[in-house]
Structure 1
Amino acid sequence: MVTREDTMLARLGRIAARGRYAVIAGWVGIALCGAVFGGTVYDRTQPLDDLRPDAPSTAAQARLDELTPTGEQLVAVLSGRNFFATDLVNQATQLMFEIRAIPGVVKVTDPWTAGSAQITADSESSLVVVELSPQLSDDDALAVADRVSAALHRVAVPQVLVGGKLLAERDFGDQAVADAALGESVALIVLCGALVVMLGGLAAGSLPIGAALATVAGTLLALTGLAGAIGVSDYTVNVVTLLGLGLAVDYSLLIVARFREERAADPRAPIPDLLARTVATAGRAVLVSGLAVGAALSGLFVFADPLLAAMALGGALVVLLATATGLTLVPALIAIAHRRIPAPGTRTWVWRRPVRRGPGMLARSAAFAQRRPVAVALAVTGALLTLGVPLLHVNLADSDARSLPAGSEARQAYEAYEHHFAVKYPQPVPVVIEAAAADPAVQSLLTRIRALPGVTDVDLRENVPPQVVIAEVERPGPAADEHAQQFVRDLRALETPVPVLVAGPAAQLVDAKDATADRLPAALAVVVVATALLLFLLTGSLVVPVKALLMNLLTMLATLGVLVAVFQWGWGSGLLGFTPWGALDLTTPLLLFVFVFGLSMDYEVFLLARIREEWARRTGDDRAANDRAVLAGITATGPVVTAAAVSIGIVFLGFALGELVAVKEIGVGMAVAVLLDVTVVRGLLLPAIMSLLGRANWWPARGAALPTAPDPAPPNLPRPRRDRPAKASSASAARTPRP
């Protein structure tokens, strides 16, 4: 019989224990390099497109830039004073000429000197658009933008709001750095306190923190190198470090908890042997979990756009590092600090009085679910589906300046433009027609474009090559709302013998949605097949993976439903400190899918690995034996799953304190998903369904299929009694079964 001590993971645990100082020194070196050089990753980040280079709107914009290159635009809304005031006209006129004279400014469109007449009906607000040279580098463009902004703020009106894509992207990057610093600081401080309390001491609580710091520092170092090869955005760095903190703490808690069990079962065993057994069992769950999370992240590669590709690559790095620290650094730290790791319930300076050991929250809820499996399964499924109802009304859009904090000037300028000028002075839709203007097909196409619903005017851009026509189609309303998106679809549906390309925000959003819909089935297939295969290898069952996938789907639907209610409808927005903008970021459901799926599999693997061990030890092959194995596994692993959920919830809520709405969506969504997954899904739905399936859970494997191992200290099991009435007392549910 092959024992745990003979496995590769067991040997890894023994090596980490015996070479603990070398292992720790190696990780300290990585952490120091990450602390010194990893922080520079924010200096190397760049805004990334959420579209592939071959997307129609991307090709259209590239063609426009080739034919009539244009630079960045600054948009200023000046309000609070009558436009026709004589002193204002004189002062503003002089300033507009000064702005034109700034090197790098190529065009100024304003109502005082350019005759644009872009003023509101009450003459209290006016619009100024400043175009910069396309030859400017990003840094030079920002320097010119700052000079222009300073000049515009000298206009003698009560309120001047200057924005535009260039300034909004800079604000986004600056806010991302600030949010990351705040989120990591708050999460680490609160997490330290929680871990010290949960593990019973400062040394024990420091182990997961050490692993988390090494993981995050190593990830930042890897992302710094990655930024030299591919584009990495600030958003990628924030989300990846968030994931790294959570996974490192999860894996550390599982290793520490299993070490305490092994030590309690065999207190005289040498530490290297105990760690060999620990890594052979809990390490297997960590390895499978890491592979499952990595497999979920790999689904992002299917979408092949720059933003998600960078997210997938960064996520793969952080999963690799979190798994590596869990399998090497944490055992090495335990080998040094094992005497400072108290057994659960031991009296310490944290736990002033010995804590009476008994069934944990998950064990009690599992026993309850096993007594009433049908009612619990139906109630939980119905509740999760109800939470998912708002998802039917989801509105997905690209994050723009509205994802910035409410106090951001770039956001306020965007919202002021949308409120005062979007209807009367709409942003035209650029259309590139690859044919000469005299071509009858072009004339026919322009006539049909003018006849489309909502079109108010079609202007032909001047100074373009004679074999190309660039038409600017004007229609009222915001540039990328549902009506604008439908207009783009109608425009593209026009039959014509000449090539036509449509650019603009609405076209980009249409392409992003279409690309997501086209590639989503392939991404789902990658994630589902990979994780199902891993669960099959872990359990030997075909039923368990299907059940796990369905439960993860319920968690995902409920989480997205809550996000729609909070971030799109604004429920609780005041409590969370943000201003809703009526949509979810287009990438949020995709990122949440892979992260929620991965972390759900995390807890599923933790529980199933132990349940499978218990099932392999059972002599019976009936429903009762299955229920006892499920309850024993949940009782043994429930505390670490609960502790992991609390820890990772703290991490995600720390990032939810940030100001960027897109990052806040991820933080709140992950916290909601973890809360639902650990309480109702793993605590109620999992045991209820496994109780209903009975022996069928393990088809086609049998209990004896796994290698057996010495039993650790038996868990204090609540008894799932089927022969008692539904109103059985809670005391009866806490009885310890006889051997």
Structure 2
Amino acid sequence: MLARLGRIAARGRYAVLAVWAGIALCGAVFGGTVYDRTQPLDDLRPGAPSTVAQARLDALTPTGEQVVAVLSGRNFFATDLVDQATRVMFEIRAIPGVVKVTDPYTAGSSQISTDSESSLVVVELSPELSDDEALAAADKVRAALHRIDVPEVLVGGKLLAERDFGDQAIADAALGESVALVVLCGALVVMLGGLASGSLPLGAALATVAATLLALTGLAGVTGVSEYTVNVVTLLGLGLAVDYSLLIVARFREERAADPRAPIPDLLARTVATAGRAVLVSGLAVGVALSGLFVFADPLLAAMALGGALVVLLATATGLTLVPALIAVAHRRVPAPGTRTWVWRRPARRGPGLLARSAAFAQRRPAAVALAVSAALLTLGVPLLHLNLADSDARSLPASSEARQAYEAYEQHFAAKYPQPVPVVIEAAATDPAVRSLLARIRALPGVTDVDLRENVPPQSVVAEVELPGPAAGERTQQLVRDLRALDTTVPVLVAGPAAQLVDAKDATGDRLPVALAVVVAATALLLFLLTGSLVVPVKALLMNLLTMVATLGVLVAVFQWGWGSGLLGFTPWGALDLTTPLLLFVFIFGLSMDYEVFLLARIREEWARRGGGSRAANDQAVLAGITATGPVVTAAAVSIGIVFLGFALGELIAVKEIGVGMAVAVLLDVTVVRGLLLPAVMSLLGRANWWPARGTALPTGTAPPTTPATAPPTPPRPRRAQPATAASATRPPRSP
């Protein structure tokens, strides 16, 4: 079937190109509107305890968004400052939509720093305002506060921070995609030996991204999609499209070199039957990995899974249809490897590539290499023992963001003295003896400094605000949430607030992670079994992917949590990783690692079957031949996708930067260390056991045999007859003029 698809794409190339051009044009015109439809998404499922508690709290005592400001740099008691600030506070009260102003100038609050150089102002907006109305009112409040004559006025709050996050996500996407595409274009031209050939993967990538934006626009009309989702999904689509395109182009050049007289439709039929099968299995593997996000059942990860499934489908479709059609049109402009062109001034010298040399080294010392590489990867993963996960807040914004600066100023000057209380909803009347007993026990909990009861609460409920010094979602506050929920009481108790949300997110992740792992591992192992006919190969692949994952997360902890190299990467660490980063990296690293695993194993399986299997020597020869044949395209794909991820690492949002850097590190480790050293070493150690229970005497169903063995000598060209450039002719030294 795949061979037929390749032949159809070649013969109907202009029709295929017209369809994809129409899709890309619609994506370019309408896809950009996806950012107008994005919205912040919760990272908790609707039924989470803190979500239920917050909904009940909003029903009992509706509160609107808050604007928080820290005024610093002048003594609070300066007469002219007090007079000026007092006038501004009354002006703010008169702004439509403002319902309450808490400040030390007019409201009698004592929210002043210990050195009297900073004061805290909290402005509450009406809960009846729409999002746009609330933002307009917040902007007026901010403008008024900035009129106060102090050296530093920092205005923030959740509402303004979310808008800054959305604006920065759009800017980061534009910068990341632009830089990645420019650098990627240059790299592809160099790697493929010409502008036309280098444009083939780039054209597929642009079509995939445009189609993805169009698909996300449609998805946003059905379910919530965040700016973060758009950024990460387009990044993934760009990388996958380039990977799949390179594999198809490389296999086409190989087929053409082996049979230069064959018609182009026949060559593309063979190409898609072999490399296309690897693309299809790889796409299924990445899609399966992304499906694991559905297990967590929260809006943010569900949107990421849906968007990821769409982009994988589109990248696979471009690889199987658009790329063969582009090759059919421009095949004369696709030089054989090493051919002298304006890019390659000299024919390449014969010799194995980097991965082939690494594999040969590993096969000579398989036990030592396997042990050393495994130990090195585990060592890189040691920082993972100190992993700290938290929900991204204003600290994930760039250090230049005013909302982040306001948050940090609050934490520095007021968090310890005026902590954000933990709201507790008690579903019983305040006169109930059980409520009085419960409140007494809450006051006795470790670290609690005060318990206040909110006013204007319906008589059959109580809202208590429990104060504990420290950050709103710090470790001590999280422990307080657990202690509150563990209290033995006869009345229902609900706990809300940032710490409760973080506790619920961590608990949900811990509860559902084993299920997600089981889904991803089982489905991926099945795909690898169908590809190779072996039960051992899938287990080995999963273990190697796990090593890559552990090492990558260890590097991320050192960089983003501890701050190693933060100056070089241009960010200020905030002492934690975003809670979703390990989950997203797990599915992305797992999927892309399977990409390269499938690329290599598909060819190794062909070589093993061609040799008939049966001996350790045949196994080692098949591994080396497969890596030798596929190594260059895997290296090129890794360089390309590394460029894509590093392009997004240039952005300012730390959560997106974590994904970009994490994926670049994972690709680097996976291709150079895991695929170049660990894979051939382990396969050499296992020998024939690699292919158990398959005998290895036949290719998997539907796979075309290689036209010419990878290790066979090249067919010499016929004398005095013009032929297309082949790998054999390209390696002959040029004649002297």
| TM class by smaller structure | over 0.9
Deviation at 1:358, TM superposition (A): 1.6
Question: What is the match of residue 68 of structure 1?
Answer: 61
SS in 2 for 1:160: strand
Picking from 144, 148, 152, the partner of 2:145 is: 152
Q: CA deviation at 1:357?
A: 2.9
Alignment of 1:32 onto 2:32 = no
Partner-residue secondary structure (3-state), 1:464: coil
The CA distance in 1 between the partners of 2:341 and 2:424, in whole Å, is: 72
Cα pair distance change 1:710/1:89, threshold 3 Å: closer
Question: What displacement does 1:716 show?
Answer: 5.8
Superposed CA offset, 1:232-277 (max 9, x none): 0000000000000000000000000000000011100000000000
Query: 8 Å contact 1:631–1:717 — kept in the other structure?
Result: no
Matches of 2:704 and 2:201 in 1, distance apart?
Answer: 27
Q: Say yes or no: does 1:99 pair with 2:92.
A: yes
Question: Take 2:283 and 2:457, find their aligned partners in 1: how far apart are those partners?
Answer: 54
Q: By how many angstroms is 1:696 displaced? A: 0.3
RMSD: 1.0
Tell me what 1:731 maps to: none
- Within 2, Cα distance between the matches of 1:271 and 1:315? 33
Contact map agreement 1:83 1:124 (CA 8 A) in 2? yes
Q: Summarize deviations over 1:407-446 as a string: whole Å, max 9, x none.
A: 0000000000000000000001000000001111111100
3-state secondary structure, aligned to 1:75: strand
- Answer yes or no: is 1:312 the counterpart of 2:281: no
* Aligned match of 1:373: 366
| Equivalent AA in structure 2 for residue 104 of structure 1 | G
| 2:127 is aligned with 1:138 | no
Which residue in 2 is equivalent to 1:596?
589
Spell out, residue by residue over 1:710-739, the C-alpha distance to the aligned partner (whole angstroms, 9 max, x if none).
544444699xxxxxxxxxxxxxxxxxxxxx
C-alpha distance in structure 2 between counterparts of 1:483 and 1:677, whole Å = 38
**What one-letter code is carried by the residue in structure 2 that aligns with 1:311?**
M
Q: List aligned pairs for 1:17-416, cutoff 5 A.
A: 17-416=10-409
Percent identity of the aligned residues? 90
- For 2:674, give the aligned amino acid: V
SS of alignment partner, residue 162 of structure 1: strand
Structure-1 residue corresponding to 2:462: 469
List structure 1 segments (4+ residues) > 4 angstroms apart after TM superposition. 707-710
Alignment partner, residue 644 of structure 2: 651
Please show how residues 607-646 of structure 1 align to structure 2 within 5 Å.
Answer: 607-646=600-639
Separation in 2 of the partners of 1:330 and 1:706?
Answer: 25
Distance 2:236 2:705 in 1: 35
Determine if contact 2:606/2:706 at 8 Å carries over to the other structure. Answer: no
Distance 2:235 2:620 in 1: 36
1:463, 1:565 → 2: CA distance?
Answer: 48
For the residue of structure 1 that corresponds to 2:465, the secondary structure is strand
Q: Deviations over 1:164-195 (max 9, x none)?
A: 00000000000000000000000000000000
Count, aligned residues? 711
1:356 Cα deviation from its structure 2 partner = 1.3
Query: CA shift at 1:122, angstroms?
Result: 1.4
Do structure 1's residue 517 and structure 2's residue 537 form an aligned pair?
A: no
CA contact (8 A) 2:606 2:705 kept: no
What amino acid is the match of 2:238?
Answer: L
Q: Is the 8 A contact 1:53 1:59 kept in 2?
A: yes
Residue 496 of structure 1 is matched in structure 2 by 489
| Residues 274 and 704 in structure 2, CA contact (< 8 A), matched pair in contact too | no
Please give the alpha-carbon distance, in whole angstroms, between the structure 2 residues aligned to 1:277 and 1:474. 70
In structure 2, how many angstroms separate the alpha carbons of the residues matched to 1:414 and 1:242?
Answer: 30
Q: Relative to 1, partners in 2 of residues 1:710 and 1:468: Cα closer, same or farther, differing over 3 Å? A: closer
In structure 2, the CA distance between the partners of 1:717 and 1:172, relative to structure 1 (3 Å rule), is farther
Tell me if structure 2 keeps the 8 A contact 1:286–1:323: yes
1:352 partner letter: R
Cα deviation for residue 709 of structure 1 reads 4.6
Tell me, in whole angstroms, the C-alpha distance in 2 between the residues paired with 1:144 and 1:386.
52
Specify the alignment match of 1:725 in structure 2. Answer: none
Counterpart of 1:461, as a letter, is R
Q: In structure 2, what is the Cα distance between the partners aligned to 1:407 and 1:553?
A: 37
1:475 Cα deviation (Å)? 1.0
1:585/1:710 CA distance change after superposition, 3 Å: closer
Q: Is the Cα contact below 8 Å between 1:656 and 1:663 reproduced in 2?
A: yes
- Conserved? CA contact 1:264–1:712, under 8 Å: no
Q: Cα distance, 1:703 vs. partner? A: 1.3
How many angstroms apart in 2 are the aligned matches of 1:386 and 1:303? Answer: 30
Q: Which residue of 1 aligns with 2:450?
A: 457
- Which amino acid in 2 is paired with 1:553? L
Residue identity opposite 1:440 in structure 2: P
1:261–1:712 Cα contact (<8 Å) kept: no
Alpha-carbon distance between aligned partners in 2 of 1:347 and 1:568, rounded to the nearest angstrom: 48
Q: Distance in 2 between matches of 1:474 and 1:535?
A: 54
Q: Choose which of 545, 560, 564 in structure 2 pairs with 1:567.
A: 560
Secondary structure class of the residue paired with 2:154? strand
CA distance in 2, matches of 1:484, 1:140: 33
Question: Conserved in 2, the CA contact under 8 Å of 1:363 and 1:717?
Answer: no
Task: Give the drift of 1:705.
Answer: 3.3
Match in the other structure for 1:5: none
Q: Distance in 2 between matches of 1:709 and 1:550?
A: 29
Give the conservation status (yes or no) of the 8 Å contact 2:699–2:705: no
Residues 326-350 of structure 1: CA distance to partner in whole angstroms, max 9, x if unpaired? Answer: 0000000000000000000000000
- How many angstroms apart in 2 are the aligned matches of 1:198 and 1:358? 17
1:34 Cα deviation (Å)? 0.4
Mapped contact 1:436–1:468 kept (Cα < 8 A): yes
- Give the conservation status (yes or no) of the 8 Å contact 1:635–1:717: no
8 A contact 2:289–2:590 mirrored in 1: yes
Q: Any idea what SS the aligned residue of 1:108 has? A: strand
Q: Does 1:687 align with 2:673?
A: no
> TM-score normalized by structure 2?
0.96
Q: Who is 1:730 aligned against?
A: none
1:20-49: CA deviations, max 9, x gaps? 000000000000000000000001000000
Task: Give the Å deviation of 1:704.
Answer: 1.4
Q: Which runs of 5+ in 2 are unaligned?
A: 714-737
Paired residue secondary structure (1:76): strand
**3-state SS in 1 of match to 2:121:** strand
- 1:709–1:163: structure 2 CA closer, same or farther, 3 Å change rule? closer
Distance in 1 (alpha carbons) for counterparts of 2:330 and 2:12: 14
Match of 1:660 among 623, 640, 653: 653
- Where in structure 1 are there 5+ consecutive unaligned residues? 1-7, 719-739
Partner Cα separation in structure 2 for residue 239 and residue 48 of structure 1:
15
- Deviation sequence 1:73-120 (CA, Å, 0-9, x none): 000000000111111111110110000000000000000000011001
In structure 2, the partner of 1:727 is: none
Asked if the contact 2:172–2:648 (Cα under 8 Å) also holds between the matched residues in 1, the reply is yes
- Matched position secondary structure for 2:697: helix
2:610–2:698 CA contact under 8 A, matched in 1 = no
The answer to whether structure 1 residue 425 and structure 2 residue 423 are counterparts is no
Instruction: Give secondary structure in 1 for the equivalent of 2:206.
Output: helix
- SS at structure 1 position matched to 2:372: helix
